[in-house]
Amino acid sequence: MKVLSVTSEVYPFVKTGGLADVTGALPKSLQKFGIRTITLVPGYPALLPMARAGAPLLVFDEILGEDASLRHIQNEDQMLFVLDIPTLFERPGGLYLDEFGRDFADNWKRFAALSLAAARIADGALPGWVPDIVHTHDWQTALTSVYMRAMGNGLPVVATIHNLAFQGQFAAGLFPYLHLPARALSLDCLEYYGDMSFLKGGLMTSDAITTVSPTYAREILTPRFGMGMEGVLASRRDRLKGILNGIDDEVWDPSLDPYLTQTFDAATPEGRRDNRIALCRELGIDLDEGPILSAVSRLTWQKGMDMLADVAEEIVYRGAKLIVCGQGDAATEDLMLRTAARFPGRMAVYIGYDERLAHLIHAGSDAVIQPSRFEPCGLTQLYALRYGSVPIVSRTGGLAETVIDANDAAMGAGVATGFQFHPVTTEGLRHAIRRAIEVFQSPEQWQRLQNQGMTARFSWDRSAGLYANLYRHLLDEAESGNDNMRSRAAG
- Name the nearest CA neighbour of 58 among 82, 91, 86: 82
How many Å apart are CA 418 and CA 420, to the nearest integer? 7
Query: Cα(393)–Cα(416) distance, rounded to whole angstroms?
Result: 13
What 3-state class would DSSP assign to 164? coil
What part of residues 437-476 is at the interface with ligand GLC (CB under 6 A)?
A: none
Q: Is residue 163 part of the contact set for ligand GLC (CB under 6 A)?
A: yes
Q: Does 297 bind ligand ADP (CB under 6 A)?
A: yes
257 binds, among ligand ADP, ligand GLC, none (CB under 5 to 8 A by kind): none
State the nearest-atom distance from the C-beta of 18 to ligand GLC, in Å: 3
Among 325, 390, 424, 454, binds ligand ADP (CB under 6 A): 325
> Which range, of 104-112, 119-127, 374-382, 475-483, touches ligand GLC by CB under 6 A?
374-382
21 contributes a contact to ligand ADP by CB under 6 A? yes
Asked if 18 interacts with ligand GLC (CB under 6 A), we say yes
Binding at 354: pick from ligand GLC, ligand ADP, none (beta carbon under 5-8 Å per type): ligand ADP
Sign for the pseudo-dihedral over CA of 145, 241, 133, 63: positive
Taking CB under 6 A as the rule, does residue 166 contact ligand ADP?
A: no
- For residue 326, which of 300, 356, 353, 347 has the smallest C-alpha distance? 353
Count of residues that interact with ligand GLC, criterion CB under 6 A: 14
Cα–Cα distance for residue pair 357/462, rounded to 1 Å = 29
Region of 126-134, 144-152, 321-329, 333-341 interacting with ligand ADP (CB under 6 A) = 321-329
3-state secondary structure of 360: helix
Tell me how far apart the alpha carbons of residues 285 and 294 are, in angstroms, rounded to a whole number.
Answer: 12
* DSSP secondary structure code for residue 93 in this structure: S
Which CB sits closer to ligand ADP, 8 or 380? 380
Rg of the chain over all Cα atoms, to the nearest angstrom: 23
Quick one: what does residue 296 bind among ligand GLC, ligand ADP, none, with the CB cut-off 5 to 8 Å set by partner type?
Answer: ligand ADP
Q: In angstroms, give the least distance from the CB of 447 to ligand ADP.
A: 25
- Select from 3, 22, 80, 134 the one that contacts ligand GLC (CB under 6 A): 22
- Per CB under 6 A, 304 contacts ligand GLC: no
Nearer residue to ligand GLC within complex by CB, 271 or 378: 378
Task: Give least dist CB 181 to ligand ADP, A.
Answer: 34
Residue among 298, 321, 346, 373 that touches ligand ADP (CB under 6 A): 298
Helix segments in 221-326, DSSP class H = 223-226, 230-235, 272-283, 305-317
Residues 191, 323: Cα–Cα separation, whole Å = 44
Site string for ligand GLC, 384-413 (x = CB under 6 A): --------------x---------------
Among 355, 427, 438, 461, binds ligand ADP (CB under 6 A): 355
Long-range CB pairs of 18-23, under 8 A, 24+ apart, other chains included: 18/162, 18/245, 18/377, 18/378, 18/379, 19/137, 19/138, 19/162, 19/163, 21/245, 21/247, 21/248, 21/379, 22/137, 22/162, 22/212, 22/245, 22/379, 23/137
Assess 364 for contact with ligand ADP (CB under 6 A): no
| Residue 418 in contact with ligand ADP, rule: CB under 6 A | no
Taking the complex as a whole, the smallest distance from the CB of residue 20 to ligand ADP amounts, in Å, to: 8
Residue selected from 254, 328, 371, 376 as contacting ligand GLC according to rule CB under 6 A: 376
Q: How far is the CB of 359 from ligand ADP (least distance, A)?
A: 8
End-to-end CA distance of the chain: 26
Q: What does 298 bind: ligand ADP, ligand GLC, none (CB cut-off 5 to 8 Å by kind)?
A: ligand ADP
Task: Give the Cα separation of 309 and 347 in Å (integer).
Answer: 10
What's the rounded Cα separation, in Å, for the pair 103 and 140? 13
Choices 16-24, 65-73, 358-366, 440-448; region in contact with ligand GLC by CB under 6 A: 16-24
Distance CA 101, CA 113 (A): 22
**Number of Cα atoms under 13 Å in the Cβ half of residue 57:** 19
Residues 206-235 within binding reach of ligand GLC (CB under 6 A) = 212
Residue 160 — φ and ψ, nearest 5°? -105, 130
124 contacts ligand GLC (rule: CB under 6 A):
no
69 or 396: CB nearest ligand ADP: 396
Phi, psi of 47 (to 5 degrees): -95, -20
Q: Are strands 169-170 and 195-197 parallel, antiparallel or unpaired?
A: antiparallel
Q: How far apart are CA 309 and CA 306, in angstroms?
A: 5
CB of 292 to ligand GLC, least distance (A): 24
- The site for ligand GLC (CB under 6 A) is made up of 17-19, 22, 162-163, 212, 245, 375-379, 398
Residues that bind ligand ADP (CB under 6 A): 17-19, 21, 296-298, 325-327, 353-355, 358, 377-380
